[in-house]
A and B are shown apart, each in its own frame.
Chain A
Amino acid sequence: MVFPPNRIFPHDVIPISGDAVGKVMDFTSISKSLESGGGGVADLALPAENLLAWWYAGNGATKPEEITVANPLLPPDGQAVTAWADLGVSSYDLTKAGAGTATWRKSVAAANGRGGIELNNAYFSRNIAGGILANLTTYNLHIAFFSTTTALAALYGEGRSTGGGVPVVIGWLNNPAGDIQLFHRSDASVVATLGGNFTAGAMHIFTGRRIASNSWSILLDGVEVATDTDAPGTTTIDRLAIGALVRDTVTAICSDTTICCVAIYSDDSYASVFALMAEHYGVTMPPFLGGEIAYASSIGI
């Protein structure tokens, strides 16, 4: 058998060595504006495309009488925060609620010196028909937080303010202690995903991905910790909250938990958003990012 030059028979295998092994392009710092560390104004530049809502403890932590998005002055360190403005396009501005306190912390050591809002038996909420995430079949929910406790709490919720406790939509609980959970629950009480662990005293970034109507992935610090294939239906929603679970009665209110950022996207840009947030808050990234993706066929069956 005779082979032309480009038919190799047999072939001398060339081992991969040197630069070819595990070669990774240099990390390119994402552009940021203004100061680094110490909280401050909009120094975290998230992608604007498909950004549904963004509560950021920089110029998003506001006292309405003195601070607006257009005038992003910050309250003095340690001052009570009475409202939290949405920096996305939807203006889902929230109002402080609950018997406890919401305190602006200009520089949270565990959060790479970035700002945060420390919640102690307090939360932020607003009435909103339909919620933000409740009826979406694709979304990413990112929450950057720091907590000194693993006691029961909730970081983000959409639910019904009346008519029973079933329609909790998006809850994120540390119940049992240290175990994170993502709920997307319909009127039929389907729990879509749950799992994972976090450490008290360390900064974390939680990501909940709804990849498709029946596909879920939750990540802690960029590592997938649980998946699920349940497909809950639509739910009647009239309120959302940061720092609490909203039902007919508000429960699972945060204590000793500092929330730095909540960002919600209607697409699956989780990796890009996570990378930006991880750099900003000094959260160690895992060696790899990834997971399942779902996409539409352009030609159908």
Chain B
Amino acid sequence: MTLRARVLFPSTGRNLPIVVIMHGFSDQVSNFISSTRERFAGYGVFALFVEMRGRGASGGSPDAGGREIQDIIDAVQYVKATYATFVNPNQVYIVGYSGGGGNVFSALSKFPDTFNGGIAFFGISDYGYDETDGWYQNGASVSQQTSLANWIGGTPVAVPDRYHSRASVLAIVNFTGGHLWMFHDLSDTSVPVVNSQNVADTMDAAGLTNYELNITTTLDNPRWLHGYPNLGEQESLIEAEAIFVPDILAGTYPAWTVPASGTLQVAGYLDTKRFRLELGNLTDEYGEVTYDMTTREFTITSDTGAATYSLTLKGQMPNTSISATINEVEDSQMSDGFGNVTFTGDV
């Protein structure tokens, strides 16, 4: 399946930070007008505008907070390989608007140590898991509800586990390094501000301080009103770039790696520099993993009932028999030539 994106960067630039920029829920890359694309590139970054699957010229079926997050990572990997002359592979940020802001939350939850930072403008942090604050129940229009049901495979009542697996409002606690900026206006009805507030609450509860929640009201100028940062549209959003772009250019937030041991949330799937863990079909389960890479002990649980898992450890000795203890059962598998070894089972 072929996916599409657009890139733009200063022709004489080298070692440029990669900035992924995500469009809204049912839009496409062309919603960012050319002057907006050039403005981002003009900051001195490698601007990567990813077109979500099933939108624009990208292939595949649309999703919301599920498989298209892997697509973003695939785009980043493609850029690192194809534009190695121009980019700094250790500086990767993601910016998104509305549904794209939802992609930011999901990407930081599912691929936490891939990103040095994320910037979510009025992002969707829950597509329908919470009966009150989920976007399906609070904010989505009738047509958007229909899209959600079609793309995810049913309503929140019919397929609650699938919405659970997309609840980055729960899994955002994986993002323990880097920095998260959130921008929202209190009056936003398209994506209510509770989406950002709940993310902040979750991070607070986990003791995380690596975020900023920036909310505007009718008393403020500029305001972070819902839309695109295009000339002639929500131009006030352009001013928000002054808040996060300098840190991107300065490399304020270095590359990081999840700890060698700890507990992480698994919203369908989780990919870190140390391991990748997939539950079910990637989009229908939610769980948790407690791990110790030194002893290779893993405890995998599912909050959504019985599930299959696939756990791939990275950075092991190549072509070697590797042992791991998963849910108190020891297993051995041969690693491949790249030092990856995969264990599968049920929880």
A→B interface (CB under 8 Å): 3-4, 6-11, 13-16, 19-28, 212, 215, 222, 267-269, 271-272, 275, 285-301
Closest to B181 in A: A8
Question: Contacts A6-B213, A271-B85, A272-B83 hold; do A212 and B2 have CB atoms under 8 A apart?
Answer: yes
Interface residue from B11, B70, B214 paired with A289 (Cβ < 8 Å): B11
Assess whether B74 is in contact with A297, with CB atoms less than 8 Å apart.
yes
- Which residues on B sit within 8 Å (CB–CB) of A7? 200, 212-215
Assess whether B6 is in contact with A291, with CB atoms less than 8 Å apart.
yes
CA distance A26 to B16 in the complex (A): 10
Q: Is B14 an interface residue (CB 8 A)?
A: yes
List 20 other contacts, CB 8 Å, given A28-B14, A289-B86, A300-B1.
A6-B200, A7-B213, A10-B215, A11-B214, A14-B243, A19-B249, A21-B43, A22-B43, A27-B12, A271-B82, A271-B83, A289-B9, A291-B6, A292-B4, A293-B78, A295-B5, A295-B78, A296-B74, A297-B1, A301-B60
Closest to A12 in B: B243
Assess whether A301 is in contact with B241, with CB atoms less than 8 Å apart.
no
CA distance A286 to B212 in the complex (A): 37
Assess whether B215 is in contact with A295, with CB atoms less than 8 Å apart.
no
- Which residues on B sit within 8 Å (CB–CB) of A222? 11
- Which residues on B sit within 8 Å (CB–CB) of A25? 13-16, 44
**Secondary structure type dominating chain A contacts:** loop
- Which residues on B sit within 8 Å (CB–CB) of A11? 214, 216, 220, 243
Q: Is B209 an interface residue (CB 8 A)?
A: yes
Q: Is B61 an interface residue (CB 8 A)?
A: yes
CB-defined A-B contacts under 8 Å, sample of 11: A4-B204, A13-B242, A24-B44, A25-B14, A267-B82, A272-B83, A285-B12, A297-B59, A298-B70, A298-B74, A299-B282
Q: A26 CB to closest chain B CB, in angstroms?
A: 7
Assess whether A294 is in contact with B41, with CB atoms less than 8 Å apart.
no
Question: Looking at chain B, what size class is its interface with the partner chain?
Answer: 35 or more
B→A interface (CB under 8 Å): 1-16, 38, 41-44, 47, 53, 57, 59-61, 67, 70-71, 73-75, 78-79, 82-86, 200, 204, 209, 211-217, 219-220, 222, 239-243, 245-246, 249, 282
Assess whether B5 is in contact with A297, with CB atoms less than 8 Å apart.
no
Q: A267 CB to closest chain B CB, in angstroms?
A: 7
Task: Please list the 3 inter-chain residue pairs (A to B) with the smallest Cβ-Cβ separation, ordered nearest first.
Answer: A290-B8, A23-B44, A295-B78
Question: Contacts A10-B217, A20-B249, A25-B15 hold; do A293 and B82 have CB atoms under 8 A apart?
Answer: yes
Assess whether A296 is in contact with B243, with CB atoms less than 8 Å apart.
no
Assess whether A290 is in contact with B6, with CB atoms less than 8 Å apart.
yes
Interface residue from A9, A15, A23, A297 paired with B3 (Cβ < 8 Å): A297
Closest to A272 in B: B85
Assess whether B242 is in contact with A15, with CB atoms less than 8 Å apart.
yes
Closest to B4 in A: A294
Assess whether B53 is in contact with A292, with CB atoms less than 8 Å apart.
no
Closest to A19 in B: B249
- Which residues on B sit within 8 Å (CB–CB) of A212? 2
Question: Contacts A212-B2, A275-B85, A286-B11 hold; do A297 and B215 have CB atoms under 8 A apart?
Answer: no
Assess whether A10 is in contact with B85, with CB atoms less than 8 Å apart.
no
Q: A223 CB to closest chain B CB, in angstroms?
A: 10
- Which residues on A sit within 8 Å (CB–CB) of B15? 25
Assess whether B70 is in contact with A297, with CB atoms less than 8 Å apart.
yes
- Which residues on A sit within 8 Å (CB–CB) of B5? 292-293, 295
Q: B290 CB to closest chain A CB, in angstroms?
A: 26
Assess whether B61 is in contact with A290, with CB atoms less than 8 Å apart.
no
CA distance A3 to B196 in the complex (A): 13
Assess whether A295 is in contact with B74, with CB atoms less than 8 Å apart.
yes
Q: B318 CB to closest chain A CB, in angstroms?
A: 21
- Which residues on A sit within 8 Å (CB–CB) of B3? 294-297
CA distance A19 to B222 in the complex (A): 23
Q: A210 CB to closest chain B CB, in angstroms?
A: 13
Q: A155 CB to closest chain B CB, in angstroms?
A: 23
Closest to B196 in A: A7
Assess whether A16 is in contact with B12, with CB atoms less than 8 Å apart.
no
Assess whether A287 is in contact with B10, with CB atoms less than 8 Å apart.
yes
Q: A123 CB to closest chain B CB, in angstroms?
A: 32
CA distance A62 to B200 in the complex (A): 68
Assess whether B215 is in contact with A20, with CB atoms less than 8 Å apart.
no
- Which residues on B sit within 8 Å (CB–CB) of A268? 82
- Which residues on B sit within 8 Å (CB–CB) of A275? 11, 85
CA distance A24 to B219 in the complex (A): 36
Interface residue from A19, A27, A286, A297 paired with B14 (Cβ < 8 Å): A27
CA distance A26 to B67 in the complex (A): 37
Assess whether A22 is in contact with B42, with CB atoms less than 8 Å apart.
yes
CA distance A6 to B180 in the complex (A): 11
Q: B208 CB to closest chain A CB, in angstroms?
A: 10
Interface residue from A28, A291, A297 paired with B7 (Cβ < 8 Å): A291
Assess whether A296 is in contact with B16, with CB atoms less than 8 Å apart.
no
- Which residues on A sit within 8 Å (CB–CB) of B57? 215, 292
Assess whether A20 is in contact with B245, with CB atoms less than 8 Å apart.
yes
Closest to B241 in A: A16
Closest to A9 in B: B215
Assess whether B2 is in contact with A3, with CB atoms less than 8 Å apart.
no
- Which residues on A sit within 8 Å (CB–CB) of B222? 13
CA distance A61 to B82 in the complex (A): 29
- Which residues on A sit within 8 Å (CB–CB) of B282? 299
CA distance A275 to B71 in the complex (A): 28
- Which residues on B sit within 8 Å (CB–CB) of A289? 8-11, 86
Assess whether A301 is in contact with B211, with CB atoms less than 8 Å apart.
no
* Listed residue (A25, A268, A287, A300) with the most chain B CB atoms within 10 angstroms of its CB: A25
Q: A11 CB to closest chain B CB, in angstroms?
A: 5
Interface residue from B2, B38, B60, B241 paired with A295 (Cβ < 8 Å): B2
CA distance A106 to B15 in the complex (A): 35
Assess whether A301 is in contact with B240, with CB atoms less than 8 Å apart.
no
- Which residues on B sit within 8 Å (CB–CB) of A301? 1, 60-61
